[in-house]
A = this chain, B = another copy of it.
Amino acid sequence: MSWTEDQITAWFAAQRNLSPGFFPIGIGDDMAQIRVDKGTSVFITIDMLLDGVHFDLRKATLQQAGYKAMAVSLSDCAAMAVVPVAAVVSVALPKGFAAKELKMLHQGIMLAADKYNCPLVGGDITSWKGEEHFAITVAMLARAAANKPIKRSGAKPGDCICVTGTLGGSGLGKHLRFEPRVNEAMEIASIAKVNAMIDISDGLTSDLNRICRQSKTGALINAEQIPLSDEAEKSKEPLESALNDGEDFELLFTLAENEFNKLIKHWDSSLPVTKIGTITDTGKMQIQTADGKLQDLQPAGYEHLG
């Protein structure tokens, strides 16, 4: 029997009742919240990226690998609308990795660290004994912004479902150079009251499904409103690409209609924000296609354990 990542996460979460006072947000959101003392919380996320899975070092550079490792964690900060504070990085090197290669990796890490003001404060380097592959883990700390941190679990029936940017085809290149939506998340949260948010890592359907499950809601998506990337447009199945390719690292969020109107009115970023559907009380995800037909939508995005 093999589990999906979501099943494993649910199992881990069920093992333990974390004290809600001390850990207001725990396993199953983009970051865990830890109350350090009265009035002060930190947020933490961890992600391991593997050569051959999250990038392919036969084609991608080490700068790109370092940048992506940081950007994935920065995207988790964006998903909760919290402020990145510092990162620590751990790398496992294949035999024969040299100083020159580490410097390239470091350049990529620092590119993201500098751009998003999230310094590298510590790390750990270890080496495989044989021909195993390069792996990199980033753990990132964040602090709350002026807004409350935004969880996955707050979506309400009637909410507008929105995404930033365009979706699909990230595997063709964007996944190595995407901009984590840290600044946009802050901007959105400062304009409007957002009820639920997540970053699209495994695919629109998979990540929307997480919001629905944790908010105990359903969702109705309008296929024609989904903003397709150029890469998705050129693909054989543009809609399928936008729904399930994953690694878009765009924001997926829900908010009441009046809050959505407020957001659109004040939104002056060049990055589009698009309403793609509505949160429902049906308990299931559905999609309305161009011909008006309503279909059930299954989470079928990229599963790291797939």
Q: Could you list which residues of chain A lie within 8 angstroms of chain B, going by C-beta atoms?
A: 1-3, 5, 8-9, 11-12, 15-16, 18, 23, 26-27, 29, 31-32, 34, 36-37, 40, 42, 44-50, 52-54, 85-86, 88-93, 96-100, 102-103, 106, 110, 119-130, 132-133, 135, 137, 139, 141, 143, 304-305
Can you name the residue of chain B whose Cβ is closest to the Cβ of A40? B40
CB <8 Å contact, A304 and B126: yes
The residues of B that contact A53 with a CB separation of less than 8 Å are 126-129
CB <8 Å contact, B44 and A122: yes
Q: A37-B143, A53-B129, A98-B2 are in contact. Are A121 and B44 (CB under 8 A)?
A: yes
CB <8 Å contact, A88 and B3: no
Query: Contact check: which of B34, B135, B304 meets A141 at CB < 8 Å?
Result: B34
CB <8 Å contact, B305 and A143: no
CB <8 Å contact, B305 and A127: yes
Query: Contact check: which of B29, B103, B128, B139 meets A46 at CB < 8 Å?
Result: B139
Tell me, in angstroms, the Cα distance from A34 to B119 when the chains sit together. Answer: 11
CB <8 Å contact, A91 and B45: no
Query: Contact check: which of B1, B110, B135 meets A92 at CB < 8 Å?
Result: B135
CB <8 Å contact, B133 and A128: yes
| Candidate in A31, A40, A49, A86 with the most chain B CB atoms within 10 angstroms | A86
CB <8 Å contact, A121 and B1: no
CB <8 Å contact, A88 and B139: yes
CB <8 Å contact, B34 and A37: no
CB <8 Å contact, A88 and B44: yes
The residues of B that contact A98 with a CB separation of less than 8 Å are 1-3
CB <8 Å contact, A12 and B123: yes
Q: A36-B143, A125-B8, A128-B52 are in contact. Are A90 and B47 (CB under 8 A)?
A: yes
Tell me, in angstroms, the Cα distance from A121 to B34 when the chains sit together. Answer: 8
CB <8 Å contact, B99 and A3: yes
CB <8 Å contact, A1 and B99: yes
What are 6 contact pairs spanning A and B, CB under 8 A?
Answer: A9-B123, A34-B141, A36-B40, A46-B90, A47-B90, A92-B135
